[in-house]
């Protein structure tokens, strides 16, 4: 009886791999062919859904989608379990029953894991993302806020006038040349006229042990054009003072002339969280205040924000398996620890070498400014984020999913509505580095230094004009400031 038992278990194993194969081994040809045909139809249906969704776009993320996925998962599991148990009939010894139970568990495990990932993912997304569109976006005419905030360009539209000079040639960057803190990056190809834009304010706070409040030391506004692959990223200095709080907000919650924030811009987030009544309309009054201040500063609509703190950034990099970077600067430094009980993250790198940075070292790399300044640090942060996106590994992401889910849920916040997430994923995934411009507002955009504390005062008109040119007329912007492609600059 041992031989038939082993034969039945082998048939069960084959049907676990391919439903119907075990039945053919046992001689049940009709049932085996029927199960194989059902398997083929199921695979074809799944393939058709994938192709259709690829053309139609990602579905709306809601509870009905999760319930549908769970129902499909359970149905496929039931089909596979039937195939395994049916093929293994006749294995009646205690040992055979143990092996059959192991086959059943092995069949069910991936379906249980898929169900867990689906439910947990939606739970995290529902916690982190907003339920509705934010109501703290300043009124705008197309992409730009009112004419009083940003002067009109000399000519309408996107194409430069025939008399505009052509872009200057830029040499390929070398590894031994440090990052230029005021570099601007641009692709040569012009976008299609009339495509809409989505803007996202990326914020990184220094919230951690020993730091009171939460200063936004990283502020990058990214504008993405729909359907063209173009994006423009504006690096905003953290220490600007006298930045307007937003049109109509004078610090008392009443309409009037915009009041300027007396402290450095990176302190606005913490201040606004202590005065939530002054900054209504969003999920987080600190983020609302920054969205409106940056919108007024640059003369551009700010749709959404995404914020991460020190520990969240380090844990995200760890969960994604680290990031490889070609270093262009000599850095020896240590920065604020992301959590009590940890040593301060350290960095000791030389230019010309590629490094694989994990969380804490990556944190030191993007925050270091001991041997540089805020402007080169902004350029370094932009390059790191670009490399992080390019090196995203879905397999590693799934393997580290539980830890990543906890990290995102605890340390990341945004006001992007959940229903907008699929479209935003497609939009971000379509960004072409060769079609990307980056503007870091360096010394050229500083009007003067405040006598009281030497903090920089911004040239509002020049900043707003630079933003308009970068978006509406990239060729003219390239000719004026000597731009290179984002793919080459890092």
Identify which of 301, 307, 309, 275 has the alpha carbon closest to the alpha carbon of residue 289: 275
What is the predicted pLDDT for the residue at 236?
A: 92
Q: Helix, strand or coil for residue 76?
A: helix
What is the predicted pLDDT for the residue at 220?
A: 92
Using CA atoms, how far apart are residues 297 and 242, in angstroms rounded to an integer? 10
Identify which of 297, 292, 285, 305 has the alpha carbon closest to the alpha carbon of residue 200: 305
Task: Provide φ and ψ at 440, rounded to 5°.
Answer: -105, 120
Identify which of 106, 111, 113 has the alpha carbon closest to the alpha carbon of residue 88: 106
Structure tokens that stand for 290 in this block? 């920054």
- Tell me the pLDDT of the chain (490 aa) as tens digits: 345 567 778 888 999 999 999 899 888 889 999 999 999 998 888 888 777 766 655 566 677 888 888 999 999 999 999 999 988 887 667 777 888 889 999 999 999 999 998 888 888 888 889 999 999 999 888 788 864 444 433 333 333 333 333 333 334 334 344 444 444 444 433 334 456 999 999 998 877 655 556 889 889 999 999 988 888 889 899 999 999 987 655 444 444 566 889 999 999 999 999 989 889 888 999 999 999 999 999 999 999 999 988 888 888 898 888 999 999 889 998 887 777 778 888 999 999 899 999 988 998 898 887 767 777 887 788 788 878 877 877 777 777 777 888 888 888 999 999 888 888 888 887 888 777 888 888 888 999 998 888 899 999 999 999 899 888 887 777 666 655 556 666 7
Find all residues with CB under 8 Å of 64, minimum gap 6, and list them. Answer: none
Strand partners, 412: 308
Using CA atoms, how far apart are residues 271 and 152, in angstroms rounded to an integer? 33
Using CA atoms, how far apart are residues 46 and 40, in angstroms rounded to an integer? 10
Find all residues with CB under 8 Å of 370, minimum gap 6, and list them. Answer: 331, 332, 333
Question: Around Cβ 252, how many Cβ atoms within 10 Å?
Answer: 10
3-state secondary structure 173-218: CCCCCCCCCCCEECCCCCCCCCCCEEEEEEEEECCCCCCCCCCEEE
For residue 335, how many C-alpha atoms fall within 13 Å in the half-sphere facing its CB?
26
Which domains are assigned to the chain?
2-128 (no CATH), 140-489 (3.40.630.190)
pTM above 0.85, yes or no: no
For residue 69, how many C-alpha atoms fall within 13 Å in the half-sphere facing its CB?
20
| Parallel, antiparallel or unpaired: strands 346-349 and 243-244 | unpaired
Burial (CB count <10 Å: 0-12, 13-18, 19+), residue 212? exposed
For residue 104, the Cα-to-chain-centroid distance in whole angstroms is 39
Does the CA dihedral 218-375-393-327 come out positive or negative? negative
Identify which of 370, 380, 373 has the alpha carbon closest to the alpha carbon of residue 446: 373
Does the CA dihedral 421-423-426-427 come out positive or negative? negative
Identify which of 372, 363, 371, 316 has the alpha carbon closest to the alpha carbon of residue 337: 363
- Asked whether 201 and 235 are in contact (CB, 8 A), the reply is no
| Parallel, antiparallel or unpaired: strands 412-414 and 304-308 | antiparallel
Task: Provide φ and ψ at 331, rounded to 5°.
Answer: -125, 125
| Parallel, antiparallel or unpaired: strands 304-308 and 197-205 | parallel
Structure tokens that stand for 268 in this block? 């606005």
For residue 149, the Cα-to-chain-centroid distance in whole angstroms is 29
Strand partners, 185: 438, 484
Using CA atoms, how far apart are residues 77 and 72, in angstroms rounded to an integer? 8
Burial (CB count <10 Å: 0-12, 13-18, 19+), residue 103? buried
- Radius of gyration in angstroms for the set of CA atoms belonging to the chain, rounded to a whole number: 28
Q: Taking the C-alpha atoms of 135, 141, 143 and 148 in order, what is their torsion angle to the nearest 10 degrees?
A: -100
Identify which of 306, 281, 276, 269 has the alpha carbon closest to the alpha carbon of residue 133: 281
């Amino acid at each position: 009886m041992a031989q038939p038992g082993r034969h039945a278990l082998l048939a069960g194993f084959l049907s676990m791999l391919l439903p119907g194969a075990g039945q053919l081994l046992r001689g049940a040809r009709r049932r085996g062919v029927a199960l194989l045909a059902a398997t083929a139809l199921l695979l074809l249906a799944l393939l058709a859904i994938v192709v259709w969704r690829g053309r139609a776009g990602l579905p709306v993320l809601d509870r009905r989608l999760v319930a549908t996925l769970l129902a499909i998962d359970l149905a496929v599991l039931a089909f596979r379990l039937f195939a395994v148990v049916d093929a293994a009939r006749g294995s009646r010894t205690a040992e055979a029953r143990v092996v059959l139970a192991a086959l059943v568990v092995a069949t069910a495990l991936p379906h249980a894991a898929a169900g867990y990932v689906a439910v947990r993912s939606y739970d995290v997304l529902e916690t982190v993302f907003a339920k509705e569109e934010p109501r703290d976006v300043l009124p705008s005419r197309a992409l730009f806020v009112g004419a009083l905030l940003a002067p009109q360009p000399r000519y309408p539209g996107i194409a430069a006038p025939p008399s505009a000079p052509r872009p200057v040639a830029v040499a390929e960057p070398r590894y031994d040349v440090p990052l230029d803190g005021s570099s601007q990056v641009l692709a040569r190809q012009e976008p299609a006229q009339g495509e809409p834009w989505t803007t996202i304010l990326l914020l990184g706070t220094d919230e951690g042990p020993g730091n009171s409040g939460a200063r936004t030391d990283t502020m990058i506004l990214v504008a993405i054009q729909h359907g063209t692959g173009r994006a423009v990223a504006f690096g905003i200095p953290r220490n600007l003072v006298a930045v307007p709080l937003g049109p109509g907000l004078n610090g008392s919650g009443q309409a009037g002339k915009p009041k300027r924030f007396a402290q450095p811009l990176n302190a606005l987030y913490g201040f606004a969280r202590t005065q939530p009544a002054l900054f209504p309309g969003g999920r987080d009054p600190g983020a609302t205040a920054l969205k409106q201040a940056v919108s007024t500063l640059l003369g551009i609509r700010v749709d959404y924000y995404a914020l991460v703190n020190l520990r969240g950034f380090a844990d995200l990099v760890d969960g994604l398996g680290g990031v490889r970077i070609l270093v262009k600067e000599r850095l020896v430094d240590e920065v604020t620890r992301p959590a009590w009980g940890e040593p301060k993250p350290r960095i000791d790198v030389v230019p010309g070498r590629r490094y694989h940075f994990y969380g804490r070292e990556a944190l030191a790399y993007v925050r270091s400014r001991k041997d540089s300044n805020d402007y080169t640090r902004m350029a370094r942060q932009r390059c790191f984020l670009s490399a992080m996106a390019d090196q995203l590994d879905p397999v590693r992401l799934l393997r580290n999913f539980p830890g990543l889910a906890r990290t995102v849920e605890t340390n990341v916040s945004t006001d992007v509505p959940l229903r907008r997430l699929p479209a935003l994923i497609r939009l971000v995934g379509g960004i072409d580095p060769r079609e990307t411009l980056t503007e870091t507002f360096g010394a050229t955009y500083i009007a003067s230094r405040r006598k009281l504390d030497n903090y920089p005062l911004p040239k509002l008109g020049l900043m707003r004009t630079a933003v308009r040119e970068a978006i509406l007329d990239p060729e003219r912007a390239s000719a004026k400031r000597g731009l290179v492609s984002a793919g080459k600059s890092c």
